[in-house]
Structure 1
Amino acid sequence: MTVFTDKSQSPFYEKLLGKVDEQLLHLQDARGIFLLDKVHEKNMNYYIRNVAKKPWNNHLLLSILIYADKNSDVRTIDYFIQLMNPRLNDLFNIFYFNKMTDFDVETHMYQYLKGTIFVEHSDSMRAELLNRYRNNSYLTKKWLTAKLTQEQQSYFEQYLFPMPSYDARDFSFTKSAMTQRHNTRKSETDAIVPMLPQIRAEGHFRWNQLHRLRQAFLKACEEAQTTKCALPLEFHYDEPERVGERFYFRLWDKPSFVLHHQDQFSASSLKAASNRTGAYSEEKNNYFVEFLKAERLEDDEEAEGLWFMELFEKDVVGSWNLNASDDELQQKRELLYSWGYGEEDSTKNSVPFLSMHKGIITPSTFVSRNQDIAEGILFDVEPIYAGITFGLLALDIFTTTGARLNELLQMNYSKECIKSVKIDNKLHHSFYAIPKGRDEVESFYISDQTMKLIAKLIKLLKYHYGATKIPSVGYRDDRKHLFPNPKPYLFQYNNRSFKKNTVYSCLRFLLHGLHFETQEGKAITVKTHLLRHAFATEAVQRQKLPIDIVAKILHQRDVGVTGYYSEPTPSQVAQSVSDLHDVISDYVDVDEAVLRSPEELQQELEEYKEKVGVFNNVLGGTCVTDFVCPTKMQCLGCQAKVPQPEKKHELEEVIELSKDMEKRFSKMNLPVEVKKAKAMRKHARNELKEIDLIEKYREEQNYEPHIRFDK
């Protein structure tokens, strides 16, 4: 065996000594990095707690090390070990085994898969175990052969899970479980995809609405400070014509709220509030609002108010399950399930609006604790405004790039991450992130609209930090070993970068109340991975992009996985491109570079521009793909195009042209060409609908409510 002079720097090294084969702890990659140092703490913490003392500890540890060396996603590794460990535990218990040599995959796992033992386990559980087990056996054996010497292979083969002679075709459950999973995924995607343009537009409308509320809130705070008026300060303002409602609020701070509800607080609290000391001192004080009512301006219909009011009214924001009675728990579980959160008849408490990040969505302790005292509904403005700003950018990225959540969290405000290239006097933008299963950055092309949302987020972060720069913070989510150095990550707040759950909560809060049902009537919610499925489905099924190109756009190595993602459902949406702004401080002016370059380079660029859309304006919008044109320049309806309201007239001309073409081809008895003309008109009309939504929320962005104070 190889003699090792150094040891792993992992904090888990010492904990594993004496519990596992020490040779596993010394495995290194080609660069001399210990594989144990590559394993995420989440995976190792589970292993230490649940696997280290089991008979299969060496087998699972070898698998974990190999997956880490292959840059597998932390969740993928976590899912594998949390699937394998319980099933092995079941088998060893029922057969009374105490060492791995007793276990025979051909006999004992076969009995489990046939359903002769643990009959209560579902087909899906058995199918998933077989699938993951076989994949692991194949990948680990392949890794050993490719990475280790003959001597090392001979030694470590004892810790491989042996490949069984049977496969999924030998069991009836496989097709049943796979069909069930596929049907569930397709049902949810079918419910979401046709509504994507409306989902995106509603996200913008809601951000605009919260922006107006925040402006009113800040003006009320300024009014209270400059005039020294007694609180509460009542104010109201009118929403734009599309909403047609007037909103009424009260502005409070902590001392004023206590002193106006004296019968609800202790004598010591009243004294501290009156003197503004302790918890009610100036440095610990903050403003918050009470939503009183909404009323219609032009008719007698019932006012809707702010979309998120019911969440605070029903007390399901944050850790709602703490200190709740059994009846309250059951009622709220049923309520959340009716909205698509959690499982029916579940005893688990779903917390869809618990961001687990200070200052994001969740109200302050004072506001949360005193909600029942108020006449209206209390909430903090800034945490909600921050949450939906993050949520809107996430929604835009997911639906225009198909990016994964981990790739989104890598976005940072640096020239290495966000880049712009100037071609034909226009800037084209991209961000760079390390996709799943890779260790080098790749590009994700984004539109000017996305850049505008990034600018809004940067403005929010600078306001939050009271600084001209965004601070560099450590990366805290999966695969953080790839990002050891602090960076000015976009998804951060209160000097901490986001984890996945925070993004989930922001997206849910932004889109709450948009009701989606499967054909079976089950309520569902928008999920990050569901949006990725929708992106792939629309690209392949309606836009007819080749699967291999979609795989590149999604940064997927396995085209088969892309095929699974892109099974048939309806439309995908692209978003508008807005005016150029100054988010990025540096760009490369390719136009100037070409003018000074050799003649061959100029010719090469021109040829490249003919093949690659990312450098071109196209009919009705701008192309945002850098791959060979997937539609052979048939840009109408293409997934890779972002519609621009400024090019609305081009689409209107196409509609008129298609009508003329249809008449001409009908006279010429060319039915195929007639169909093409009709399809052209259909695509143009769909894009015009998207542009109409874009124009509406752009118009509302410029609406400034007139705020009236009632003193």
Structure 2
Amino acid sequence: MKTMATQLAALRARKKAADTSNPFEKLLPLLDPAVVNTPRAKAVWSKLSHRMVVWLTRTVSQFPWLNHLALAAVIYHDSGPVEPIQPILSLHSFLRWAIPVHYPNVALLNPVEAIIAYFGDPPQGRGDRTWSAYSAIQLHLQAYLQSLPSEERTQLTPFLLPTLVDTPRLAQLRAQIFYQTQAKRKEQSFAVVRDLHALVVMGRRRYQWLANLEAQVQQVVEQAKKREIALPVLIRCQDLDHRQELTFRVWDRLTWITTHLQDYHGDTLKKTSHRNWFFLQLVGTLPDTPWFLRAAELGALNRVKTLSPAARQYLRDCNVSLFQLQGGLIYPNQGIGQTLRRAREIAAGTPEDSRIFFCIEPLLAGAALGLFALVCLTQSGMRIGELLQITGDKACMKIGFFPTFDGQAESFAENPTKLFFWLLYPKGSTARQPYPVTPFMQEALTIWMHVHQRFCGPFIEVSPDHFYFTHHRRFPGKHQFVLQWNGRQILTHAIEACLNFLLLEHRCLDSQGKPIHLTAHLLRHGVAGYLRQQGVPLEEIAALLHQVNLIVTDYYSKPSPQDLFAQVGPFLTRLGEVAEIDPATLRTVGDIQKLGQEALKRFGVLRRIPGGTCAVFTACEVQFKCASCPAYIPDPIRREEVREKIANCVRTAEFLKRSGDFLQAEVQKTHARHWERIEKEMQALAALELMASPFETALKQFGVDNLDEVDDEWLLTLKQQPRLTPGGDFPHD
């Protein structure tokens, strides 16, 4: 057995050595000698990223523009500060669309005409990305060629893309895409502001639930190692909402294969693994609040070569990118991923309770990283590039007097309280600036450090990534980055993947009801808008976000139309109420009586509606908004119905206001004011009926022949007395 293990280890070592060999040696024979021997580029071929070289060798080598893109990549890499993979990818997609469908070859390509057509109708972002990539590569190549002698420049001319010239039409399309992108981002940020508190609560609750479940699994693992129990073992826990009890069956790889030996090849048990992973199987049906269990059922969280169409569709519906991370975050290694995939296939055709299998340790690590990113981004509003700068050394972590902004003096003053803060490089700054660290950020940092200690050991000094870490020039050598995993720096795509996992199936929707793809930049907009909604001055928001231009801060924290209406709506409503008090807006009693008489002559009957009758007997033109209809005839005897309508509108408005629907709340308040106007008309009609017979006869019995002699104050008091309804108990007096 030892000999077999030694042979397998040697085989893995040879395979690893073959994978880490310089891949550009396979690329150079495919290129033209003029491109390979490009001046000052010979030393750059070996510095290209492994991903770039493999992509050029395997994907682009079958297309006629291989030399064009290879030359662009090496020149861009030599003169640019970042890896050119994204511009080269965009340019390759554009060339595949244009050639040979629209143009026979690269030499006959008209880039202006092609990019305008590539924008599409309506314009799409792919055209703008292509223009940016084409222009950037063209500028780098032009600057490089100007430094070469004419002979060498002539040798490289066949491998240059046709010149792109900016035109008014291209500028118009790019501006249209820019404003569309800004409008979409602000629309999404409005939703983030509305649900920011719910997102933070969701992230904290989900991590705690996963940590409690992992603690139960760890207890079972310790007992299994001591051979106190035999796997599989059932464990139970409550779901996220504490409405259902979930049951899981704990397996390890060896127990699963032994139990289902008839479904595996005979040599499966001989294949050793560097670690005996434990995984869970859900017993029973999928709960109402599945979180990641639906993704686990589809196989979207396992490291396999290809995802199923159902898993890809699920990620598209959730507006989440594929979880492309280092091994040990979100998904386990290749071996356990294949074991879980095979376990789902076996359970699908057997009486097993469920087909949902997952390994909990990578998910716990991903949730811890997602929680750390979520808390830091929402508590400080920092950029993700600043989050990547956090190190565990004295150059970053400080305890001291953090300055606060004094609005009256328009300067920073010393705070008498000592605080914990990080010294980081903001965007566009050459000096470190302090970022306050709240207790919630300290808690999230402690959780991440504990998880990293369990699975990877203590933090070590690692080299910054020169291609994807934009601040790598300020961090020469190795540093103890907090965001690291297995000895490598964690980058933006991995952080956002963990963030997406923690907030999977969130309820933050745009105006079309589609889920928003949450990014670090969108959370930064949400924090700015949330603080402005709470009344924080714009200068203090800019100081927190480390922004110099208040115009940018004003754009970040721009209130949504709903928030704006909620703030100014009450003042406009009061203005409308003042206008409605004008007696000229009320109908006269004679107008109401004339309306009823004409309706009786025309239809012979009046339709009964709340608080009165309707003078129209045809289809309702106001959709039964009776209070605002000119055909409404109030009946003073049925005044209680109108008062009930007013009370219902007021209660509904209060409920909608508490629910956050301020617009509909104002609509209900408007309905209440219309019914109040109807009540005023009822009072006028009641006063008129008091002046009619038999009231006139009663006054004559008291010697009052002329009604003009009646005291106005006494008559007004009499008008305000409540009238008796038919069937009521008349008082003795």
TM bracket, shorter-chain basis: 0.5 to 0.7
Counterpart of 2:325 in structure 1: which amino acid?
S
Q: Distance in 2 between matches of 1:557 and 1:138?
A: 30
1:44 Cα shift?
7.9
Residue in 2 aligned with 1:257? 256
Q: 1:124 to 1:358 in 2, by over 3 A?
A: closer
Q: Distance in 1 between matches of 2:550 and 2:46?
A: 31
1:89 Cα shift?
8.4
Counterpart of 2:522 in structure 1: which amino acid?
L
Aligned pair partner of 1:309 in 269, 274, 293: 293
1:204 Cα shift?
0.6
Counterpart of 1:444 in structure 2: which amino acid?
Y
Counterpart of 2:214 in structure 1: which amino acid?
R
RMSD: 5.2
In the alignment, structure 1 residue 390 sits paired with structure 2 residue 369? yes
Residue in 1 aligned with 2:462? 473
Query: Residue deviations 1:168-194, cap 9 Å, x none?
Result: 6874x3454334323432333333331
1:208 Cα shift?
1.2
Residues 232-631 of structure 1 aligned to structure 2 (within 5 Å): 232-237=232-237, 243-265=242-264, 272=269, 278-279=270-271, 284-293=275-284, 304=288, 307-319=291-303, 322=306, 329-341=308-320, 352-358=322-328, 360-362=330-332, 364-365=336-337, 366-371=339-344, 372-373=346-347, 374-376=352-354, 377-421=356-400, 424=416, 426-433=418-425, 435=427, 442-465=433-456, 469-476=458-465, 478-479=467-468, 482=473, 483=475, 485-538=477-530, 546=538, 550=542, 554=545, 565=556, 567-569=558-560
Query: Residue deviations 1:620-644, cap 9 Å, x none?
Result: xxxxxxxxxxxxxxxxx9xxxxxxx
The structure whose Rg is larger is 2
1:515 Cα shift?
2.8
Gaps of 5+ in 2: 1-21, 403-415, 568-657, 660-733
Counterpart of 1:382 in structure 2: which amino acid?
E
1:398 Cα shift?
2.0
Q: Distance in 2 between matches of 1:530 and 1:487?
A: 29
Q: Distance in 1 between matches of 2:242 and 2:97?
A: 58
Query: Residue deviations 1:514-559, cap 9 Å, x none?
Result: 2333221223332333223323444567757548973x75567888
Q: Distance in 2 between matches of 1:565 and 1:254?
A: 50
Q: Percent identity?
A: 20
8 Å contact kept, 2:291–2:504: yes
Query: Residue deviations 1:261-315, cap 9 Å, x none?
Result: 454345665xx5xxxxx4479x743433333259xxxxxxx96465322222233
Q: Distance in 1 between matches of 2:284 and 2:197?
A: 30
Between 1:501-510 and 1:159-168, the stretch displaced more is 159-168
Residue in 2 aligned with 1:203? 203
1:195 Cα shift?
0.5
Q: Secondary structure at the match of 1:205?
A: helix
Q: Secondary structure at the match of 1:487?
A: coil
1:451 Cα shift?
1.4
Q: Secondary structure at the match of 1:486?
A: coil
Counterpart of 1:185 in structure 2: which amino acid?
R
8 Å contact kept, 1:533–1:566: yes
8 Å contact kept, 2:73–2:88: yes
Q: Secondary structure at the match of 2:35?
A: coil
Between 1:201-210 and 1:161-170, the stretch displaced more is 161-170
Residue in 1 aligned with 2:190? 190
Counterpart of 1:223 in structure 2: which amino acid?
Q
Q: 1:113 to 1:566 in 2, by over 3 A?
A: farther
8 Å contact kept, 1:403–1:554: yes
8 Å contact kept, 1:537–1:565: yes
Between 1:35-44 and 1:249-258, the stretch displaced more is 35-44
Q: 1:239 to 1:534 in 2, by over 3 A?
A: closer
Counterpart of 1:216 in structure 2: which amino acid?
Q
Counterpart of 2:224 in structure 1: which amino acid?
A
Q: Distance in 2 between matches of 1:134 and 1:340?
A: 30
Residue in 2 aligned with 1:690? none
Residues 224-239 of structure 1 aligned to structure 2 (within 5 Å): 224-226=224-226, 228-237=228-237
Corresponding residue pairs, total: 507
Q: 1:397 to 1:47 in 2, by over 3 A?
A: farther
Q: 1:530 to 1:570 in 2, by over 3 A?
A: farther
8 Å contact kept, 2:390–2:422: no
Query: Residue deviations 1:93-130, cap 9 Å, x none?
Result: 7677877xx99xxxx55544665x99789454445555
Q: Secondary structure at the match of 1:388?
A: helix
Q: Distance in 2 between matches of 1:110 and 1:452?
A: 54
Residue in 2 aligned with 1:19? 35
Q: Secondary structure at the match of 1:316?
A: coil
8 Å contact kept, 2:234–2:249: yes
Q: Secondary structure at the match of 1:387?
A: helix
Q: Distance in 2 between matches of 1:268 and 1:21?
A: 50
Counterpart of 1:19 in structure 2: which amino acid?
V
Q: Distance in 2 between matches of 1:57 and 1:321?
A: 27
Q: Distance in 1 between matches of 2:44 and 2:525?
A: 33
Q: Distance in 2 between matches of 1:114 and 1:268?
A: 58
Q: Distance in 2 between matches of 1:183 and 1:212?
A: 41
Counterpart of 1:253 in structure 2: which amino acid?
D
Residue in 2 aligned with 1:644? none
Q: Distance in 1 between matches of 2:294 and 2:258?
A: 27
1:391 Cα shift?
0.9
Q: Distance in 2 between matches of 1:215 and 1:526?
A: 29
1:454 Cα shift?
0.8
Residues 115-194 of structure 1 aligned to structure 2 (within 5 Å): 115=117, 122=123, 124-129=125-130, 164=165, 166-167=167-168, 171=172, 173-174=173-174, 176-194=176-194
Q: 1:568 to 1:44 in 2, by over 3 A?
A: farther
Counterpart of 2:379 in structure 1: which amino acid?
T
Q: Distance in 2 between matches of 1:19 and 1:112?
A: 26
Gaps of 5+ in 1: 1-9, 27-33, 273-277, 295-301, 342-349, 573-636, 638-684, 687-711
1:227 Cα shift?
5.8
8 Å contact kept, 2:300–2:312: no
8 Å contact kept, 2:460–2:487: yes
Q: Secondary structure at the match of 1:521?
A: coil
Q: 1:37 to 1:428 in 2, by over 3 A?
A: farther
